[in-house]
Amino acid sequence: MELHELTAHELGELLKNKKVSAVELTKTVLDRIEKVDSKVGSYITVCEDEALKRAKDVQEKIDKGETKSPLAGIPMALKDNMCTEGIKTTCASKMLNNFVPPYNATVAKKLYDQDTILLGKLNMDEFAMGGSNENSYFKQTKNPWDLERVPGGSSGGSAAAVASNEAIFTLGSDTGGSIRQPASFCGVVGIKPTYGAVSRFGLVAFASSLDQIGPLTKDVTDCALVLNAITGHDPMDSTSINIEYPDYTKALVNDVKGMKIGIPKEYIGEGINPEVKKSILDAIEVLRKLGAECEEFSLPITEYAIPAYYLIACAEASSNLARYDGVKYGYRAEKYTDLLDLYKQTRSEGFGDEVKRRIMLGTYALSSGYYDAYYKKALQVRTLISKGFNEAFSKYDLIVGPTAPTTAFKIGEKANDPLEMYLGDIYTVSVNIAGLPGLVVPCGLDSSNLPVGLQLIGKHFDESTLLRVGYTFEQNTEFHKNKAKI
Amino acid sequence: MEYEIVIGLEVHSELSTKSKIYCTCTTEFGGEVNTHCCPICTGMPGVLPVLNEKVVEYAVKAGLATNCTIAEYSKQDRKNYFYPDLPKAYQTSQYDLPICKNGYIDIEVNGETKRIGLTRIHIEEDAGKLMHDEWDTGSLVDYNRCGVPLIEIVSEPDIRSAEEAKVFLENLKAILQYIDVSDCKMQEGSLRADVNLSVRPKGQKEFGTRTEMKNLNSFRGIIRAIEAETKRQIDEIESGGVIVQETRRWDDNKGISYAMRSKEEAHDYRYFPEPDLVPIVLDKEWIEKIRESLPELPEARKKRYVSEYGLPEYDAGILTSSKALSDFFEDAVSKSSNAKAVSNWIMGDLMRLLKEKNMEAEEIPFSGEYLAKMVALIDKGTISGAIAKKVFDKMFNTGKDPEVIVKEEGLEVVSDEGALVAVVTKILENNPQSVADYKSGKEKAFGFLVGQAMKETKGKASPQIINKILKEELDKM
Ligand SMILES: [Zn+2]
């Protein structure tokens, strides 16, 4: 095995025992990027010099015994919607093509504090809007399992980078499935933590009440390690919750005996690809055999989750993205006649189609006369969805189901049908609407040799249960050992 | 036909917190352009607001001081519109659940007390400032004021005249200054008002169509705008026209208002709950603590001045109209046994000098203690009333202790009778005609002679003693 193929916890041991240096490891991963990224296209920005310099500094700390971080010296990368001081943060948009933030996102700061090495910034759907990375202004990230297919999105670069060993782990953001769906498509582990568990400060907002940052990793153990590094209360984010966060590695226990698992009927009924369904049911069977009590139940109003999600997310986005007006930073149209025209031209030229579509949808939903029929209704649905989950969690320790109705689809296949693209979010959006944690672990391959991801949904702030079940599943199956051949 | 004016005011007042509402930037006025700002108040990508707790405290104080109900649960909302002075393209404000509601302020006009209802008080952030003038090719933006906390105080349409509006604003300003939540400096824009105005035939129950005049920032401007808009609306109706519901911009230089282009005012603000902030949940006990911490308010002070010091209502009203003036009075009175005299000096000479020098009560150059000392000097007979006026002027101009002034300039009353007899004798010698007039029964001549004697002593003589000696000397003649 080559260094870049190892997990963070394996590399951590090697680094600690001086079997490998941070510089050597960083160089290896940079070489790997050099070798495969022209095919995969995970990165928007690679910061080679900074990464090597940092690796040198971190190695000195390791040598002097000045770091206790289990992630010290691990090369990682961030989705390009997380602000990095002095490093371009584009959101894969022409609008922020030239934007260099003068501040770090809290997650970037936390990972620096853990002595990790930032390799660069990852491709995504523009402003995190999309499920295929087809909405990036810069390029199409490809699925390392099949370069003709999408990696999923919006954190497509984050998932593809891990799957192609172009980073040991990455961070993505998840507003309606944007970590979990690409994790599923690329055969990696990904978690969307509970809303409020990870600071959003410095995450360029798409939909503030739904956005959450989380790790994409090679296995569940790495997922726990990275969660340990990035969760926690942040006084800079009013929606960050101030509680005692557990040591997630303590949850890595190979035992699910007696655990009560609910499977929403609506998630394995109509609309799901039969091969995906089979993988999911097989995975549930594995858990049952390991002693978990699994039963189907009905999660009501699942069919309203997508419209409610798109109304809320677009409404918030229409306001969050209004600041990109050509006045202060980012793109400004070259030709305009007056102020209004400056806004019009800048925003027409600076945003891509999907972003514009969602801004218009959101603006409409908030307009006087329509607010009650759309936005307010969506908030009511939100309350009902949360209620449905609460009831389920009075019976079950966690909920298990598919992540997406299909495996990775062909590039261009859905590009002209936004509605079909939106329907692909059916199993993920409710989790954001209710603010719950959702973990995805690989659970099989379909007949085209494409990965399927099992989604585990937990109670608020109960990431530990998800990690425990995910870890147990991993320890008793070989699916996580399937790797993209690139 | 006789018309009735119906006015509602929306007053924006800048809170005097040290830092801005959602970041730690200073709120200090002035400063080089774009130096009092940061990524948060300039709305850079990815930043988040954190509510300054002082803003909540100040708003609650304002609510309690104006008899509002304080909401134990309120929230903040986004008001969306594009303008270069608004870097996020939305103003964070409060929409349907404001922090304070249902209050009132009592005003007194023409000797009658009237209650003006307050619909609500809510918190919001100020915008930056566009600078159009210096540049032909474009405008520049200064974000220093961006994110300075404001409260918006919305009155019920209970105001019926320009005078009522003026008194309402004066009272409101005094209250906000007393509770120390705003300095209300109009020239720095820390108090501004929008005026909603309609007219209706006297006796009619329904309101007429109203217009809104925006951003008036002087009391004088508000009064003038109200008068002009009242006249405009009545003229319009009298000439058979109808009032259009619209926003108008007041031009204080020309004394007229213009309808804003409908494009400018046709805003759909698309309010929705601010998802980056959590609801404001207040504890009953905390609210009560704030209530207990409130200082004495102008109305209560005014009543106390009348009952405790026997001041005329009018004087008590003037003294309490400004916190600085009232605090000055309090300071002086606490060191004096003659509240009446202290009040008279403030109402008379002090107000005159402030007006002459175009100064505010905040800028009085000497302490209340000095005024108390000066009053004591008069009461003890150390100086005469006439001399006191000079001492007062000197004190105002130099800020010196009145006792020092009196000593340095030798202004004590001369009460040495021997010396004064000499003065009187000299006056009588020099004015034989007046002496003759007095002797022939012209009482007026006596007053002239007293005046001459006072002049001779440069006002330092005790008038009583001069009177006495003069009588004696004349009787001898
Ligand atoms: Zn600031």
- Give the mean pLDDT of A366-373: 92
Best CATH choice for the domain A3-258+397-481 from the list 3.30.70.360, 3.40.50.720, 3.30.450.20, 3.90.1300.10: 3.90.1300.10
Summarised one tens digit per residue, pLDDT across range A103-127 is: 999 999 999 999 999 999 999 999 9
Q: Which residue of B has its CA nearest to A326?
A: B84
**Hey, how many other C-beta atoms are within 10 angstroms of the C-beta on A43?**
24
Average pLDDT, chain A: 97
pLDDT of residue A419: 86
B138 contacts chain A (CB < 8 A): no
pLDDT of residue B253: 86
**Hey, how many other C-beta atoms are within 10 angstroms of the C-beta on B256?**
15
Q: What is the DSSP letter of A479?
A: G
Summarised one tens digit per residue, pLDDT across range A399-454 is: 999 999 999 999 999 988 888 889 899 999 999 999 999 999 999 999 999 999 99
Q: How far apart are CA A41 and CA A138, in angstroms?
A: 10
CB A356 within 8 A of CB A314: no
Cβ separation of B272 and A102 shorter than 8 Å? no
Residue A145 has pLDDT above 80, yes or no: yes
Q: Known catalytic residue: A250?
A: no
- Contacts with A236 from chain B: Cβ below 8 Å: 48, 50
Domain ranges for chain B? 3-289, 296-408, 417-476
Beta bridge partners, B105, equal B116
Q: What is the DSSP letter of B42?
A: T
- Give the mean pLDDT of A456-464: 98
Q: How far apart are CA A192 and CA A431, in angstroms?
A: 9
Q: Which amino acid belongs to residue A212?
A: Q
| Predicted structure pTM score | 0.91
pLDDT of residue B136: 64
- Give the mean pLDDT of A124-151: 98
C-alpha dihedral over B232, B237, B238, B241, to 10 degrees?
Answer: 100
Q: How far is A356 from chain B (nearest CA, A)?
A: 16
Q: How far apart are CA A143 and CA A161, in angstroms?
A: 9
Q: What DSSP string describes A2-24? A: -GGGS-HHHHHHHHHTTSS-HHH
Strands (E) across A244-397 are located at: 260-264, 293-297
Q: How far apart are CA B230 and CA B225, in angstroms?
A: 8
pLDDT of residue B267: 77
**Hey, how many other C-beta atoms are within 10 angstroms of the C-beta on B156?**
16
pLDDT of residue B476: 82
Q: Which residue of B has its CA nearest to A371?
A: B270
Q: What is the DSSP letter of B23?
A: S
Summarised one tens digit per residue, pLDDT across range A216-248 is: 999 999 999 999 999 999 999 999 999 999 999
**Hey, how many other C-beta atoms are within 10 angstroms of the C-beta on B85?**
17
CB A101 within 8 A of CB B42: no
Q: Which residue of A has its CA nearest to B272?
A: A366
Q: How far apart are CA A261 and CA A297, in angstroms?
A: 10
Q: How far is A355 from chain B (nearest CA, A)?
A: 16
B47 contacts chain A (CB < 8 A): yes
pLDDT of residue B133: 62
pLDDT of residue A115: 98
What separation in Å is there between the alpha carbon of B18 and the centre of ligand 1? 12
Q: Known catalytic residue: A21?
A: no
Domain B417-476 belongs to what topology?
Arc Repressor Mutant, subunit A (1.10.10)
B106: three-class secondary structure by DSSP: strand
Whether ipTM exceeds 0.90: yes
- Give the mean pLDDT of A177-203: 98
| Percent of chain A topping pLDDT 70 | 100
- Contacts with A83 from chain B: Cβ below 8 Å: 45-46
pLDDT of residue B457: 81
A209 contacts chain B (CB < 8 A): yes
- Give the mean pLDDT of A360-387: 95
pLDDT of residue A325: 96
Q: How far apart are CA A206 and CA A308, in angstroms?
A: 16
Q: How many CB pairs under 8 A join A and B?
A: 100
C-alpha dihedral over B154, B156, B157, B160, to 10 degrees?
Answer: -100
Residues of chain B with pLDDT under 70: 133-136, 262-266
Classify residue A422 as exposed, middle or buried by CB count within 10 Å of its CB (0-12, 13-18, 19+): middle
| Of residues B157, B261, B258, B144, the one with CA closest to residue B206 | B157
State residue B19 phi and psi, 5-degree precision.
-115, 170
Residue A329 has pLDDT above 90, yes or no: yes
A336 contacts chain B (CB < 8 A): no
